[in-house]
Amino acid sequence: MANSEELSWEDVMKSAAEISHDILSDSSSLDRSMQMQYKDTLDYLKSLTIYISPELRAEIDSRYGSLENYRRMLGGKTKITVTDSSKVSLDSLWRELNELAPEMFSAVISIAEKVLEKSELMYVP
């Protein structure tokens, strides 16, 4: 990568994700207490497929370079669709998550902030 004359944002994000994964995998002191505390919420999230609207997709692409990079940021365990609008939307899911874990998912947040929100609950290395 260092010798490449052209470097894409996706390449940078992929390399950063790989490095982060390696660092976290080698860490002996990962604090999983929050994941244990919110295990039911995390399991619920893993069971869902989240619909990403075209507007939200544009926001994600702008912030993360791609939908796949965003999915990786969420720990790679989140199922996302851009075609099946019958699946749960991020807005309605956020309301549910706010009820399940209000300290993790603020009720007063814009859709753009929801995209950017990095929850320790959702990130599972």
Residue 99 lies in a domain: yes
> Which of the two residues, 23 and 96, has the higher pLDDT score?
96
Quick: pLDDT tens for 29-48.
556 776 677 788 778 888 88
Tokens representing 93?
């899911």
Find, among 116, 122, 119, 117, the residue nearest to 59 by Cα: 116
Average pLDDT of span 7-30: 67
pLDDT band at 119 (very low <50, low <70, confident <90, very high): very low
Structure pTM? 0.59
Query: What total of structural domains would you count in the chain?
Result: 1
Whether 122 and 78 have beta carbons less than 8 Å apart is answered as yes
Distance CA 5, CA 67 (A): 25
Residue 24 lies in a domain: no
**Would you mind telling me the total number of residues written for the chain in this entry?**
125
pLDDT band at 124 (very low <50, low <70, confident <90, very high): very low
Residue 21 lies in a domain: no
Supply the pLDDT for residue 83.
93
Residue span of the structural domain in which 38 resides: 32-116
pLDDT band at 121 (very low <50, low <70, confident <90, very high): very low
Residue 40 lies in a domain: yes
Residue 12 lies in a domain: no
Residue 3 lies in a domain: no
Residue 2 lies in a domain: no
What average pLDDT does the structure give for the chain? Answer: 75
Residue 85 lies in a domain: yes
